[in-house]
Chains A and B, each alone.
Chain A
Amino acid sequence: MDTINTDGYMIAGYVVTFASMGLYLLSLYLRKRNLQRDLETYQALNDEK
């Protein structure tokens, strides 16, 4: 039996996988950065009081 060419689907699968994991990692980084900024702002405000 001939093997059908399904390379495009395989590539699509791995692109989706790595893009999803990459986006999640990016979201973790951005949320952490924003929280750290918030924390610094609040601490600066408290120091001024």
Chain B
Amino acid sequence: MQSKPIALTVLDVLSVIGIGAATYFALVFAPTEAVMGNVQRVFYFHVGTAWVGMVGFVLAAVAGVVFLITKDLKWDRLEFAAVEVSAMFFFITIALGSIWARPAWNTWWTWDPRLTTAAVTELVYIAYFMLRAGIEDPEKRARFGAVYALLGGLSAPVTFMVIRLFRTIHPVVIGNQSAAAQGGFDMESGMLIAMFVAIGAFTILFVDLIWHRVRLAKLEATVEEIKLKNSI
């Protein structure tokens, strides 16, 4: 049984404090947006979860490459943890976007380039879990997973850049946006602070969850190894 490191306990506490602070800044500290009203407050968590989602998918691709070079299964565990945690956060991003879109765009969903690439990205990583679940040999599973994570990682920068390259109704809050964008707003300093607090809080929570998931993956590997030994 692996004992829990003190640093991980500290990270657990920091994550709770961070998410608590991010909630306070989003719901209380940030000013109410003049046109959209309080629904705009989901923006802070939308950006925070999108940020860690994207970082995680890129991290998984990098871990996949390192695994293919080193063949060390610890990189496979990191890759899987990054994909799982990021897929959870990215689901929240999409759900929050849809909830915001209903009053802002008068629809829950539209096949806009940003929404489409985000949905494709999420589906790509759901397929990643299905692929891995279908392979019993740990080495083969890790190899296939690494190649898939590397290719899937390309969807993250595409999703990020699409609102900056194509005509889209998705607003770009920081930077130039498409003329067709709807629902954009001017970022006041209070909003900017709330956004960066959310990004910081979700980054801490992301690292914390990845660490927990890697430890769980280690335990899974140990149990799988014992099962294989007992079945021989």
Contacts and interface: CB of A to CB of B under 8 A. Distances in A.
Interface in A1-49: 1, 3-7, 9-10, 12-14, 16-17, 20-21, 24, 28, 31-32, 35-36, 38-39, 42-43, 45-46
A4 B37 contact: yes
A12 B45 CA distance: 13
Contacts of A13: 39, 41-42, 45, 95-96, 99-100
Interface stretch (B114-122, B140-148, B214-222): B214-222
Interface centre among B36, B96, B99, B219 (most CB of A within 10 A): B99
User: Is the contact region of chain A dominated by helix, strand, or loop, or is it mixed?
Assistant: helix
A38 B230 contact: no
Interface residues of B, number: 38
Contact of B38 (A7, A38, A43): A7
B69 interface: no
Secondary structure dominating the interface of B = helix
A21 B100 CA distance: 19
A28 B212 contact: yes
A24 B65 CA distance: 27
Nearest to A6: B39
Interface of B: 1, 23, 27, 32-42, 45, 49, 85, 88, 91-92, 95-96, 99-100, 102-103, 205, 209, 212-213, 216, 219-220, 222-223, 226-227, 230
